[in-house]
A and B are shown apart, each in its own frame.
Chain A
């Protein structure tokens, strides 16, 4: 997106600077298209697989991967307790999830009419999970630029990233066409999933998430330990394809 084309987003950004009023949000699907902004189909995980042979990601663009890598590293950071979400492969996990049936919302009821609804009525956006990431990350990086904080979220200092994530969590950032709070909840949920699901899905690398807390994984027989009250569980974690030492990397 380095070409000097005046996109709708930039036009709105310029307008916001001049008039200093909040940007009016619009549906993500209604974007003005041009240059590298042309989507295959907005909000859908159906891009042709051969579209980008230079990327190692299944669904993310490099800019999206940069955002997710930076964000999950703040949600579960690496520290003296062990690897964080980034080191445990959570971006890979989320990328694979979004590229598949989950990303397309295949099991979800996605027929209109659409209405924002009440909090007790749950998820009511017309975006699939993959579409939500696509729209939200674009809007977040735009908001970072609009607020003159930096070139993108991933380029901010860790403390500034934390502060921005807190604002997303509280729904205090106006994102173009996206509910900031709903996206934050989605991102945090997927991060926890990637950190603690079976390593077969691409996250929880070396079972780092399970080792952190002492969960022994996909063990199916605890008969010998059920009545061993107060005793430390003696076995290392195991996944659906075996122990860490047995899995080919």
Chain B
């Protein structure tokens, strides 16, 4: 029998980026806030110190910062005709655990989506006609616009001290920035990072071809920075251990380096770690959440009542907890009815390796978001007429650091082992680089999340089942981006290139991106979305669902900037409107 605890004003389920943002805003509004995190406490000085942070084996290959599959994983299949099997070890994506969540081991690539991304359905219908969207492509408008989110993007960029160069200030195109971005009210809070040789070579070639290269917006500090909360971050040292690693140098924005030093001191905030929420409990009407049930590290079960509950876990956990709690109607791919689990999407990536004889590139010098990119073929920045796909992505050189177990590129035709392999790695490691493409994944009727009928987690609850594959739209789009990348690669005049297209079905084995999206999507109609434009559950008005689970489809950019902007927008609606008159905001 669960022990019942005293009620709190607001409860955060999960304590990563969105949990920290929301707790900071709600405690500022005077609420008593409690956060429950299933992982452990983690901070820079003890867990990620520079004396041991640069350890490729421990952190990437042995998953030290990631979710433990033994505890909870997903079952996966490419389509409903297959039997889903558990992802027994992590591969394609790497969800985080512990305080700070995946925001501890992210790269820091911090984007705004394009204005047209937020109206993907209506925009594409208007420009290309009804034939541009197949019946099986279930893309939707977001119910919120770029202009609505602009001030919230701005807040997150200032919180983090994003390094970058504006391309569009109040409608005025700025040289050196991304001319395709939506209009910004303010320049980035920090200048772009210093560029190592590979991104600089890419930018030179892209510029020569008439494109508009720009520095990637980065949560790695180009200089020391004190954020609006008074928390100081330090200048990045380009150590090349950012992606899949924690920063020991206070140089990458995370909950730990931007919010927690302030939030943890507040008398009206409490965090309980190693407490996993197993269910959200509703009242008899089913329209109000009254409490959560959670299990602590000793296996004791508690019931924690709260007036307001905010789901701040990773998207896959948010969707699963909604399904396990019986909130919202589960999506049915046969009928297209129901909303929970609908429109799961991902990211599609490819690359082109370049091998030089005459250039020392020192590819180990890097940072998570240290690159030069072009956005000519993202979103609807180009005419798609006759191309057979919608959407796009960015491409360019992001030098995250060539850690050698993961990155030891060899030319086409090199054996995978033996003397010839060794010779090729030795000859090419310092003289190779790669252009990456990062593409959108539209939502499709057959790609969805539900509960697995067979496999269980450590508590005996069903695992989440993921049914997902790339469709023709994604492959055509990714191939198109890859061809553009290869053209720029050839203009850089390397000795040779190797083109790595994304072929065939989605494969859980090789790492791709931790950009899982959808399943509890936002929108303006409760029949086709799980949450409204304020991320408030249509069914349970004192429940809000943060995260990329709200994306109706996944645009061609990294998600964190938009995840955070949506959290700020939601917090503003709660503090300015909901607290005065609790109830449905839309």
Is A118 positioned at the interface, with any CB of B under 8 Å from its CB?
yes
Residues in B whose Cβ lies below 8 Å from that of A230: 197, 359-361
Is B417 positioned at the interface, with any CB of A under 8 Å from its CB?
yes
Q: Is the CB of B249 within 8 A of A220?
A: yes
Q: Is the CB of A188 within 8 A of B57?
A: no
Q: Is the CB of B55 within 8 A of A233?
A: no
A91 to B504, CA, bound (A): 36
Residues in A whose Cβ lies below 8 Å from that of B238: 221-223, 225-226
Q: Is the CB of B422 within 8 A of A76?
A: yes
Is B405 positioned at the interface, with any CB of A under 8 Å from its CB?
yes
Q: Is the CB of A120 within 8 A of B426?
A: no
B76-84, B123-131, B345-353, B483-491: which lies at the interface: B76-84
Nearest CB in chain B to that of A107: its residue: B68
Q: Is the CB of A109 within 8 A of B364?
A: no
Q: Is the CB of A107 within 8 A of B419?
A: no
Q: Is the CB of A84 within 8 A of B365?
A: no
A201-232, CB under 8 A of B: which get 1 and which 0?
Answer: 10000000110111111111111011101111
Shortest CB distance B234–A (Å): 11
Is B85 positioned at the interface, with any CB of A under 8 Å from its CB?
yes
Q: Is the CB of B62 within 8 A of A188?
A: no
Residues in B whose Cβ lies below 8 Å from that of A217: 54
Q: Contacts A108-B69, A124-B88, A221-B237: A226 and B194 contacting too (C-beta < 8 A)? A: yes
Residues in B whose Cβ lies below 8 Å from that of A222: 237-240, 364-365
A115 to B86, CA, bound (A): 10
Question: What is the number of residues of chain A that contact chain B, defined by CB distance less than 8 Å?
Answer: 59
Q: Is the CB of B417 within 8 A of A107?
A: no
Nearest CB in chain B to that of A187: its residue: B417
Is B362 positioned at the interface, with any CB of A under 8 Å from its CB?
yes
Q: Which of B51, B85, B235, B360 contacts A121 (CB 8 A)?
A: B85
Is B416 positioned at the interface, with any CB of A under 8 Å from its CB?
yes
Q: Contacts A79-B422, A162-B418, A222-B365: A108 and B56 contacting too (C-beta < 8 A)? A: no
Residues in A whose Cβ lies below 8 Å from that of B405: 192-193, 196-197
Q: Is the CB of B85 within 8 A of A115?
A: yes
- B56-81: which have CB < 8 Å to A? 56-57, 61-63, 68-70, 73, 76-78
A110 to B402, CA, bound (A): 32
Residues in A whose Cβ lies below 8 Å from that of B73: 109
Q: Is the CB of B422 within 8 A of A81?
A: yes
Q: Is the CB of B196 within 8 A of A117?
A: no
Is A141 positioned at the interface, with any CB of B under 8 Å from its CB?
no
Shortest CB distance B335–A (Å): 27
Is A111 positioned at the interface, with any CB of B under 8 Å from its CB?
yes
Q: Is the CB of A220 within 8 A of B248?
A: yes
Q: Which of A75, A81, A122 has the most CB of B within 10 A?
A: A122
A188 to B415, CA, bound (A): 12
Question: What is the number of residues of chain B that contact chain A, defined by CB distance less than 8 Å?
Answer: 69
A104 to B71, CA, bound (A): 15
A226 to B199, CA, bound (A): 11
Residues in A whose Cβ lies below 8 Å from that of B508: 120-122
Q: Contacts A107-B69, A193-B57, A220-B239: A123 and B88 contacting too (C-beta < 8 A)? A: yes
Q: Is the CB of A213 within 8 A of B249?
A: no
Q: Contacts A81-B426, A225-B362: A220 and B53 contacting too (C-beta < 8 A)? A: yes
A230 to B430, CA, bound (A): 10
A103 to B89, CA, bound (A): 13
Q: Which of B57, B359, B430 contacts A201 (CB 8 A)?
A: B57
Is B500 positioned at the interface, with any CB of A under 8 Å from its CB?
no
Q: Is the CB of B87 within 8 A of A109?
A: yes
Is A155 positioned at the interface, with any CB of B under 8 Å from its CB?
no
Nearest CB in chain B to that of A115: its residue: B85
Q: Is the CB of B54 within 8 A of A220?
A: yes
Residues in A whose Cβ lies below 8 Å from that of B239: 219-222
A232 to B77, CA, bound (A): 47
State the 9 A-B residue pairs at the shortest beta-carbon distance, nearest first.
Answer: A218-B54, A213-B429, A197-B57, A221-B237, A196-B404, A229-B197, A222-B238, A109-B69, A75-B417
| 12 A-B residue pairings within 8 Å (CB atoms) | A81-B422, A120-B506, A120-B509, A122-B507, A191-B417, A193-B61, A213-B425, A213-B429, A221-B238, A223-B238, A225-B362, A233-B362
Name B's A-contacting residues (CB within 8 A). 50-57, 61-63, 68-70, 73, 76-78, 82-83, 85-89, 91, 194-197, 200, 235, 237-241, 248-249, 359-362, 364-365, 402, 404-405, 408, 416-419, 421-423, 425-426, 429-430, 454-456, 504-509
**9 extra interchain contacts, Cβ-Cβ under 8 A, other than A192-B405, A227-B194?**
A75-B418, A108-B70, A115-B83, A120-B504, A122-B91, A214-B430, A220-B239, A229-B200, A231-B360
